[in-house]
Amino acid sequence: MTVLLEKLEAARKANDLSRLGEAIPYARWMGMAPENTTGELLTRMRYSPHLIGNTHLPALHGGTIGALLETAAIFHLLWEMDNAALPRIINITVDFLRSGRPMDTLARAKFTKLGRRVASVAVEAWQDDRSRPVGAAQLHFLVTPVK
């Protein structure tokens, strides 16, 4: 995790989170990156044809929305916590609220509760209209240092 934590440190110094996404191969492949241009930390999943699950509608694969929600929660934890440990996911519950259209999707996470060992995080994802979310998730992470 050192590479990731180094990137995190560099991103903090530059106050530019976008490079954090590059440190995670899967996030890069999915086109996911954090951004804080508006003062709040958002994670964007850039649209790409390989994210499609239903070519007829067309619609994003539900798994991509779940993955975005999870990734947004991880970026939130990394950014908000001064903890030299990577959060380890315990579980995720995803609600699929609307069909994800072929366009960029944004997600915003917030702590439901931050405890000593466990962080509960709620995340919402939307596309062009923030009041019409495409998905929402509740996640638990273990935030104790790895032994």
Partner 1 sequence: MGSEARARTLFESMPGDKLEVFQQWFSDTIPHNKALGLMVTAVRKGGASMRLDWEPHLVGNPETGVLHGGAITAMLDACSGMAVATVLTKAQPFATLDLRIDYVHPATPGQPVLADAECFRLTSNVAFTRAVAHHGDPADPIASSAGTFMLATKGKAAMGLHAPHAASEKGKGQ
Chain residues in the site for partner 1 (CB under 8 A): 1-4, 23-30, 49-57, 59-68, 70-71, 86, 88-100, 134-135
Smaller CB distance to partner 1: residue 44 or 64? 64
The C-alpha angle with vertex 143 and arms to 40 and 112, in degrees rounded to 5, equals 50
Residue 94: name the closest of 72, 71, 123 by CA: 123
Residue 134: name the closest of 53, 74, 39 by CA: 53
Smaller CB distance to partner 1: residue 96 or 115? 96
CB of 39 to partner 1, least distance (A): 26
Smaller CB distance to partner 1: residue 39 or 61? 61
Q: Which residue has the tokens 């962080």?
A: 119
CB of 105 to partner 1, least distance (A): 10
Q: Which residues lie closer than 8 Å to 68 by C-beta, 6 or more apart? A: 30, 32, 43, 45, 105, 107, 125, 135
CB of 15 to partner 1, least distance (A): 23
Smaller CB distance to partner 1: residue 37 or 138? 138
